[in-house]
Amino acid sequence: MNKKYKIICGVCGAVCIGGLAAGIFFVRGGGGKQTEDLAYVMRVSSMNAMSGTQRLAGVVESQKTSEIPKDPEREIREVLVKAGDDVEVGTPLFTYDTASLEMDIQQARLDLERAAGEMANLQAQIQQLEKEKKNAPEEEQFSYTTQIQSAQMDLKKSEYDRKAKEVEINRIQSQIDNSTVTSDMKGVVKSVQNQEQTGMSMYGDSSGQAFITILATGEYRVKGRVNEQNIGEIIEGSLAVVRSRVDEDQVWTGTYSAVDTKNPQNNNSNTYYMSGSEDSGQTTSTSYPFYVDLESSQGLLLGQHVYIEHDTGLSQREPGVWLNEAFIAGLDKEPYVWAEKDGALEKREVVLGAYDEEMMQYKIEKGIDSGDYVAYPQDFLEEGTKTTHDPAQAYEEDTGEAYGEETPLEEGVSEEIPSEL
């Protein structure tokens, strides 16, 4: 991610967060109601997520996949594995029914014996005809020649039939000897289809025409889906960050693959994540798969669900708690923030560390953690003011009009207000 893009993201993120926080701060009852102030607070960890980058859902899968087909002309006798089983090289996967093959090979052997007997008879017949031809009168020579040639043709046909039966017997015997299909690599069974090819995988998707699909263990990649409206956000070769859903400080880096537009999927509820929100936006449209090739997959688990984001450079930044400078008051004297404690505001001093000029954020060495909630500083804020995490609840004009009732917004402030993490 180049420096220009990082600066744009940082400025856009600061404007969005600052505009959102500054424009939505308190609730005041209209008419004869008693005035009550509610300060809107935002989670510190959401500051980095709200940098204008799109967040998509992803799942960890194997870099290498082995698809084991089923012979459509043979019946399965027994399936020896199920989805989720670990397999090694040579692990039996399923066996074919050999009863019909045993009958076929017996019949083929009988046909081979019959062909051998016919050949012996024809050879004896030819020898007899050649012997009789030597003693036959001249007018009968042509007749004997014709009979010998006919017998020789029948002999060649019998020889061809014998060789064909030998090939058939070898083929059938090979099928019997290889009636147990084994794994060709170490991995985990992703899916096992039934014989009508209608099975479902351990991750809920079909694996096409493969009877058994095996995912190799070791090196992983992340598969995601992008909505047709956001497909332009995924650029092949650009940097990506994969973030754990459990611990958002745990990240992996990689690069985007090209979006696979040849395999669209229509979803009635295609879920995607924006700006770090846990609340998903839902739309009915077409989505397309893409992959993130990881620099290292250490610590990831096969099938693990993760978030995928553009790499704005935050993953390479010094680890710690970072906060937008707009939320820090008293920068030139004694810096402090309005932090939430037990549902109300408190003035809390902080110790500042490094400054990220591109993202306009300070590293907080002491005073708050990434899980704390803070309010945008305003002159009228005071300790003890009740707090809310709901931006819609934190804005109501003196007339009593609730947020969203055709109340004009400040220029540059989006109507869509992302939820916190």
Task: Give yes or no for residue 372 having a pLDDT over 80.
Answer: yes
Q: Give per-residue pLDDT as tens, 6-20.
A: 444 444 454 455 555
Query: At the topology level of CATH, where does 64-95+181-217 sit?
Result: OB fold (Dihydrolipoamide Acetyltransferase, E2P) (2.40.50)
Q: Average the pLDDT over 325-342 and give the result.
A: 92
- What per-residue confidence (pLDDT) applies to 301? 87
Residue 126 confidence (pLDDT) above 80: yes
Considering the domain delimited by 3-53+317-388, tell me its CATH architecture: Beta Barrel (2.40)
How far is the C-alpha of 54 from the C-alpha of 61, rounded, in Å?
21
Q: Is the pLDDT of residue 114 over 70?
A: yes
CA distance 297 to 307: 14
CA distances, 336 to each of 50, 138, 321, 374, 377 (Å): 22, 130, 15, 11, 9
Residue 263 DSSP class: S
pLDDT given at position 202: 44
Is pLDDT at 277 greater than 50 in this prediction? no
pLDDT of res. 96: 92
Backbone angles phi, psi at 203, to 5 degrees: -105, 5
Under 8 Å between Cβ of 58 and 372: no
Q: What is the pLDDT of residue 25?
A: 52
- Judged against a pLDDT cut of 50, whether residue 102 lies above it is answered with yes
Residue 206 has pLDDT above 50, yes or no: no
Percent of the chain, pLDDT > 70?
Answer: 72
pLDDT at 52: 47
Confidence of residue 190 (pLDDT cuts 50, 70, 90): confident
* Average pLDDT of span 275-293: 66
HSE, side-chain direction, 13 A CA sphere, residue 31: 4
How do strand 281-294 and strand 251-256 relate by DSSP bridges? Answer: antiparallel
Question: Tens digits of per-residue pLDDT, 50-92?
Answer: 444 568 899 998 888 888 999 888 889 999 999 989 999 999 9
pLDDT at 278 over 70: no
- pLDDT score recorded for residue 271: 43
Give the pLDDT band of residue 286 (cuts 50, 70, 90): confident
Report the candidate in 198, 240, 210 with the shortest Cα–Cα distance to residue 223.
240
The fraction of the chain above a pLDDT of 90, given in percent, is 25
> Sheet of 212-216: strands edge to edge?
65-68, 212-216, 187-192, 86-87
SS3 breakdown of the chain: % helix, strand, coil, rounded to 5?
Answer: 25, 30, 40
Least confident of 17-31, 33-47, 100-114: 17-31
- Is 90 exceeded by the pLDDT of residue 272? no
- According to CATH, the superfamily of the domain at 55-63+218-311 is Efflux pump adaptor protein, beta barrel domain (2.40.30.170)
Mean of per-residue pLDDT scores for the chain = 77
Query: How large is the average pLDDT for residues 156-161?
Result: 88
- The CA distance from 153 to 334, in Å, is 111
What pLDDT sits at residue 393? 66
Cα four-point dihedral sign 84, 90, 92, 93: positive
